[in-house]
């Protein structure tokens, strides 16, 4: 999608676009890919750490954990196998998997409004994606750190390599891990969990490389929500004038903030957790849909987008006046066999009551402010 024919589309002041990198823009799991490439049996190692992280996350609800998340736990092992900042940049640059249409969509939305990326990915990967699509890295929020600050002696590298092999050899977790449900551990699961606890909380916690676990702060749901509020503070744009596009559980709080703040929250190929906290659900192989929604939002706000969603057809989009003819033609070209699935996310009765209460409080505050 180029931009010929869009000359009359001009930027309107006071709205902003925030999007999760991982899923809507790229299809990378860069921590897994680095592990596969640089560590023997790296995929199995990372998978074991992911399962461990899931179980530890369950325990965090009951007591404070001393262990970092999966993206932090893999870092000492990557460093032991010689991965430095330069290698992370080089690998990331050559392994970017762009989602179809994402680069064009990001160029388009930047022409309309202030745009930001939020991501749990490492800064090395995020900066390379920004370079590729011409996006300002200073508008990207991600997991920032340097591998090069850790200088590792041979004995420490050998020790960590031995631990990596041991972790891979541990029995796999059989427990089914579901949201809001306690994990049921059998004796084998408990043995593996206890051994990993010992490794990460007792045996390698004094190593120099463990700084990459304790000092690196990965971007999760809380951090993305905080990043969103920081964006609003910097731009002076309220949540009601914000689009947030997310796809996974790390986006849930940010999506919820925007939805409850009166803005437009979109789950783009989202998992159930992200979808539940969104106003709009999009299942699409191409992100041109986001360009259409963004222009409608910027011209006429959330209600305009919801009117398109409620009658999601080329005829209605074309006749709405919210979307430029070029985008309508592009949408038809990308999806000649019919438009992708776009629909409202239906709330339960309890959720509707909560939303109504929040909206009422917001209106009361606005009315009080006018009286003053």
For 1-16, what is each residue's pLDDT tens digit? 443 443 343 334 689 9
HSE-CB for 239 with a 13 A CA cutoff: 19
Report the Cα–Cα distance between both ends of the chain, in Å, rounded: 49
| Reported pTM | 0.86
How far apart CA 334 and CA 330 sit, in angstroms, is: 6
pLDDT tens-digit map of 125-144: 999 999 999 999 999 999 99
Which residues are within 8 A (CB) of 183 and not within 5 positions of it... i.e. 6 or more apart? 54, 55, 58, 175, 176, 177
Q: Where in the chain is the domain with CATH 1.10.3870.10?
A: 30-95+146-214
What residues does CATH 3.40.50 cover in the chain? 16-24+220-371
The DSSP bridge pattern shows strands 114-122 and 140-143 to be parallel
Q: How far apart are CA 267 and CA 275, in angstroms?
A: 5
DSSP class per residue in 173-233 = P-----TTS-----HHHHHHHHHHHHIIIIISTTSGGGHHHHS-----HHHHHHHHHHHHH
State mean pLDDT over 140-165.
97
Q: What is the pLDDT of residues 212-241, one digit of tens each?
A: 999 998 888 999 999 999 999 999 999 999
- Is it the case that residue 156 has pLDDT exceeding 70? yes
Neighbours of 269 (CB within 10 A): 19
CATH 3.40.50 assigned to domain 16-24+220-371? The reply is yes
Give 21's DSSP letter: S
Q: Which residue has the higher pLDDT, 352 or 305?
A: 305
Query: What beta strand segments (E) does the chain contain?
Result: 16-20, 114-122, 140-143, 242-246, 264-268, 280-283, 341-344
The pLDDT value recorded for residue 243 is: 98
Residue 347 is classified by DSSP as P
Tell me which of 345 and 59 has the higher pLDDT. Answer: 345
DSSP string, 265-299: EEEES--HHHHHT-SEEEE-SSTHHHHHHHHHHHH
Residue 111 predicted with pLDDT over 90? yes
Domain 30-95+146-214 belongs in CATH node 1.10.3870.10? yes
């Amino acid at each position: 999608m180029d931009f010929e024919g869009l000359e009359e589309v001009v930027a309107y002041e006071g709205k902003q676009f925030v999007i999760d990198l991982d899923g809507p823009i790229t299809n990378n799991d860069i921590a897994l890919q680095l592990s596969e490439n640089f560590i023997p049996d790296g995929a199995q190692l990372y998978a074991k750490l992911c399962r461990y992280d899931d179980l530890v996350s369950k325990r965090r609800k009951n007591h404070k954990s001393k262990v970092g998340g999966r993206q932090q736990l893999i870092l000492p092992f990557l460093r032991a196998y010689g991965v430095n900042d330069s290698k992370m940049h080089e690998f990331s640059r050559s392994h970017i998997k762009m989602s179809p249409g994402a680069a064009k969509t990001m160029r388009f939305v930047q022409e309309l409004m202030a745009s930001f990326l939020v991501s749990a990915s490492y800064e090395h990967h995020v900066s390379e994606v920004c370079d590729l699509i011409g996006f300002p890295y200073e508008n990207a929020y991600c997991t920032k750190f340097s591998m090069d600050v850790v200088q590792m002696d041979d004995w420490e590298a050998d020790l960590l390599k031995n631990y990596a092999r041991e972790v891979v050899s541990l029995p796999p977790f059989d427990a089914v891990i579901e949201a809001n449900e306690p994990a049921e551990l059998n004796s084998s699961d408990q043995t593996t969990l206890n051994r990993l606890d010992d490794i990460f909380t007792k045996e390698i916690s004094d190593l120099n490389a463990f700084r990459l676990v304790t000092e690196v702060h990965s971007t999760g749901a809380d951090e993305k929500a905080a990043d969103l509020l920081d964006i609003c503070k910097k731009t002076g744009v309220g949540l009601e004038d914000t689009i947030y596009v997310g796809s996974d559980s790390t986006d849930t709080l940010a999506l919820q903030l925007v939805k409850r703040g009166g803005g437009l929250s979109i789950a783009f190929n989202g998992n159930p957790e992200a979808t539940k906290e969104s106003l709009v659900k999009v299942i699409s192989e191409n992100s041109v849909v986001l360009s259409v929604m963004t222009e409608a939002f910027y011209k006429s706000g959330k209600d305009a987008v919801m009117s398109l969603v409620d009658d999601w057809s080329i005829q209605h989009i074309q006749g709405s006046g919210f979307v430029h003819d070029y985008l309508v033609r592009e949408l038809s070209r990308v999806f000649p066999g019919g438009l992708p699935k776009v629909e409202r996310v239906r709330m339960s009765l309890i959720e509707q009551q909560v939303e109504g209460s929040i909206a009422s409080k917001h209106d009361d505050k606005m009315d009080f402010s006018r009286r003053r």
